[in-house]
């Protein structure tokens, strides 16, 4: 399954799609990136005169790239039989270290911890373009195709 096919299968669209590209994917993990554009809907009010990407959006970006993209890849045989993936976040634990500002490109690196009974748990980290750690933690979700 090609990266572009995985992105097309994501159950998101703008303005809530936070995946530009998948650069590497395998049974064990995924690497992808996203550039936060200055006109993103959340910058207008977070924070006044100092736009900063909210932590919940950083978590969502890591979930979309690190769990959902990988889950679609892992379920590719089921999804290719015309079944659509359904995703539900079940848990996350994220530590934040640096802010992400408008025009910043980030890279998400996700490593599968386990995938059984359609529950996927991953260790994820986000790096900025200077290769500095922005945030890291674990995210888990249920991924089924119906």
Helix (H, G, I), strand (E, B) or coil at 28: coil
SS3 content of the chain, % helix, strand, coil (to 5): 20, 40, 40
Strand order across the beta sheet in which 119-128 lies: 21-26, 29-35, 105-116, 119-128, 133-145, 85-96
Q: Kindly list the catalytic residues.
A: 46
């Amino acid at each position: 399954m090609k990266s572009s096919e995985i992105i097309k299968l994501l159950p998101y669209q703008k303005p809530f799609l936070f995946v530009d590209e998948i650069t590497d994917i395998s049974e064990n993990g995924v690497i992808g990136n996203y550039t936060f554009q200055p006109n993103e809907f959340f910058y207008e009010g977070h924070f006044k005169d100092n736009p900063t990407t909210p932590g919940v959006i950083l978590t969502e970006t890591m979930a979309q790239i690190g769990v959902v993209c990988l889950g679609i890849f892992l379920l590719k045989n089921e999804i290719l039989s015309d079944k659509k993936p359904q995703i539900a976040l079940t848990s996350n634990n994220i530590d934040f270290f640096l802010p992400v500002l408008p025009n910043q490109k980030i890279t998400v690196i996700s490593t599968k911890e386990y995938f059984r009974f359609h529950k996927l748990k991953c260790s994820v980290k986000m790096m900025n373009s200077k290769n500095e750690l922005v945030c890291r933690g674990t995210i888990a979700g249920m991924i089924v195709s119906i």
